[in-house]
Structure 1
């Protein structure tokens, strides 16, 4: 599997959900690793436990679904019979209740190698299936609670998560009041149509000022001065910082926070791009306030994580009202670009890709 960190997460979760639908086990494949200098250059492969807590994932899935056999890292031991199912393309409808089971049953029946009743633990079959992204529709399946349950089972790699906690600890040592975490997309591969850097900076700055004005103390003084910025491009952070500091904000990022923690900084800088993103996660999820971008899967994941314990669905309540589905992937909004959300978690909203029917 290839893609960014949370694309990989979605593909892995989709594999599991499809397997449950088919009444099958699942083999979680290796992940293609990306070059730091060119994120579209996939250089090597690694097992999923480099990014995720796979041992805990297998344990939680086993407890929730004892019949589900989860293999990892392309483990095909003992699977000597292989059948290939029709792959789904990106713009084809995603699967929902019953559709994938029907596809697999039909594939087995037409293949002629083995019948479904003959398949057993002693006579297993490997079915190859490809799905580029967002392959299971939780909304169409009326499985919003199952989506929450599956989300909770998959955690990031423990060592990377611990580095993230250390980054957040360093942030807490620097601030004296509430902090706003901002997810800024300023990497060279970020499409301008998904919300360019200038647009993000303008909208984030506007909302930061509105938030400050609405949270003044009894003497009219600002209570929010600290902003933590997560971005894979340090130059973009500096651009944002130059605009915010004259307004009275103190801007932090993980590299500046770790200046006096050289041992932690060295570990973070040695990580690949997607692994480094995990070290931002704790600060984004745990900050008092969060602002992100709907077209970014990391922003979506953070918004989901911050609100998953609330009743109902954050996106249904605060993001999607007034919008319409243009395609299975794209959503149209009446007033883009705008910022939507609740008091503590907000997203920049644009007409375009919206994956939350299928994600995380």
Structure 2
């Protein structure tokens, strides 16, 4: 073989091998990229939304839907102190009173709000400058089942029979003891006749000293038996029993009533409750006027002005031909005492 032919064949084989190698390299897929494991991020915990003030709140304000809003929370709030979404306490806040100033956006707590019938709620209801005084009452005096917090009443004091002052009249039992002691030594028949005459002369049926007076007018009732309604009181849930009989749950009769009065009138009520019964006279809801508490007229109504039944039943004064007398002994001295007023 000639040298040029050998070189040509060798070159051809070299080119063919190179082409085959190049084709193999080009047709072979690239190796897959190395798998890099990324750390799994832990999911963030979710917390229930917390109730916050939607506007600035002041003491004396009451909670309604426009006063609060829900705010998403990034941390946990203690449900015993804060009001969180889904808690039972948050669903019962309508009508609650504000105790302290609250800025908008501040989470609400049980220390900032007080619900109706909780201790401290009446303090949020009292008008500035007024006072709350609790007085004892009875089923009749408190207008059983007709009176509720927010009503306006007049306060009337009735002087009780057991609080009557002594009229100064000698009771027959006491006078009998005196006569028996001072008529010793008289003949039995004469002694008995003298005692009967004197007792008949002094026997009287005085009209009981009963009286009534209106102390205050247009007084606002705050609570009955420490139960108070909020100005934003929710309507109670309707039940099967209440649908059948709307009057199935009347107001319980009150043993105590809390009234809103000026400071000076609180002193008057405190004294009046010690001498008699305080009657509450319900006023019309259309007769509130300017809402101010006013003193009574000062007029006192006595039993004699109310009825003449006692004066009609009082026996006529007994007349005597001779004035009744009693014989009084002081040692050996004897003295006859005559009751000249009954001649």
**Do both proteins adopt the same fold according to a TM-score greater than 0.5, normalized to the shorter chain?**
no
TM-score interval, smaller chain: under 0.3
TM-score (norm. length: structure 1)? 0.18
* Higher relative contact order (Cα pairs below 8 Å, separated by 6+ residues): 2
Q: Which has the higher strand share?
A: 2
- Normalized against structure 2, the TM-score is what? 0.19
* Greater helix proportion: 1
